[in-house]
Amino acid sequence: MKTLIIINGSAYGLDSTYNAIRLAASMAKREGIDTTVFLMGDGVTAAMAGQKTPDGYYKLDRMLGTVTRNGGEILCCGTCMDARGITAEMLVEGARRSTMEELTDNTLAADKVLVF
């Protein structure tokens, strides 16, 4: 089954972004589930490497690594990255710049699309 998870919310301050990434990591671990995460808007900030959060606070960059280590894909809207001054070099390992065309292709190919 192909699952696409679209995340629009900022990296920190919204439980929906945290929970969406938790769900993506859990789904990526499941046999037979092809998981793609597409980060849009402020969501692209979740894929920035080297995040420094207070001790005991979740680290979204590390959580996204669980997705890619389990065969999932992390795509970041290029237009959204540009608007926020984020370059491809600033992204966590395994995440990459993407396009609206690729989001369209993934949406049409997905069995399930979840939007956060």
How confident is the model over 9-56, as pLDDT tens digits? 998 887 999 999 999 999 999 999 999 999 999 999 999 998 887 776
Number of domains making up the chain: 1
- In 10 A of CB 19, how many CB atoms? 13
List the structure tokens of 100.
């609206």
Give the pLDDT score at 53.
75
Range of the domain at 56: 2-115
Q: For residues 50 and 3, what is the distance between their CA atoms, to the nearest angstrom?
A: 27
Q: What is the CATH number of the domain that holds 53?
A: 3.40.1260.10
**96 torsion bin: left (phi>0), alpha (psi -120 to 50), beta (else):** beta
Quick one: CA torsion of 24, 66, 77, 106, rounded to 10 degrees?
A: -50
